Amino acid sequence: MLACRGPALCTALRRAAPGGLASFHSSAPRCRAARVAVVLSGCGVYDGTEIHEASAVLVHLSRGGAEVQMYAPDVPQMHVIDHSKGQPAEAESRNVLVESARIARGKIASLAKLTTADHDAVIFPGGFGAAKNLSTFAVDGKDCKVNREVERVLKDFHKAGKPIGLCCISPVLAAKVLSGAEVTVGHEEEEGGKWPYAGTAGAIKELGAKHCVKEVTEAHVDTKNKVVTTPAFMCETALHHIFDGIGAMVKNVLKLTGK
């Protein structure tokens, strides 16, 4: 945008724009912000959404100027994990939507209300909730079932040609639902414990998807299916590397929206 550098230039600009400077400024096209749905699976890495990943997704979406609405299925969790012990809390039961509301600061809706008409893209953060509450992958592996609403959302966005972002373990959802999709969960060998969940890559191939090896700071873009994935906490590494990889995923999702 031009800046006035003296009375003469300001006068010239007023004469050039029939409505004055205000008309000159408003003549530039204004782009509508991308509307992005974020689907959560509870609250806490071992039985819900990985909180660091969800926060990273939200920060990068905010930085990218996106409008965000969060959703979660209104269903019971598979189980509750005491995160201080890493063990099941046998006497407890929790609801995925209610727990996800903790991350969303209360601003959340049932996944049943999510439609492609209201959003330009959808993103699924990771955490074991994606494999326990959004699907049965944690128990059934390649023979898993995907939550009915999750499957509907994935198929609807894919059919509409709208981008889908997934990180950590959640790419298995796309691998199961979208035949032939390309995804990444990082490396295919554990490499001394750096990639402790490397076996997931094999399961992704058994599901009929293509696995692409990527570093934790990278994202893989399946341009045909508009599916963008990044390894996140599938890798044992410093938090800022996870943050950067999720940033790459979000950036590519927003780019694919064309907003």
Instruction: Give kind and range of the element (H or E) at residue 15.
Output: helix 7-16
CA atoms within 13 A on the CB side of 242: 22
Which residues are known to be catalytic? 168
- Any idea what the Cα angle at residue 134 is, between residues 65 and 75, rounded to 5°? 105
Helices (H), 183-223: 200-206
Distance CA 20, CA 40 (A): 48
- Inter-residue contact 18 to 24 (CB < 8 Å): no
Instruction: Tokens 């819900």: give the residue.
Output: 48
CA atoms within 13 A on the CB side of 245: 31
How crowded is residue 190: how many other Cβ atoms within 10 Å of its Cβ?
13
- Inter-residue contact 71 to 38 (CB < 8 Å): yes
Distance CA 209, CA 211 (A): 6
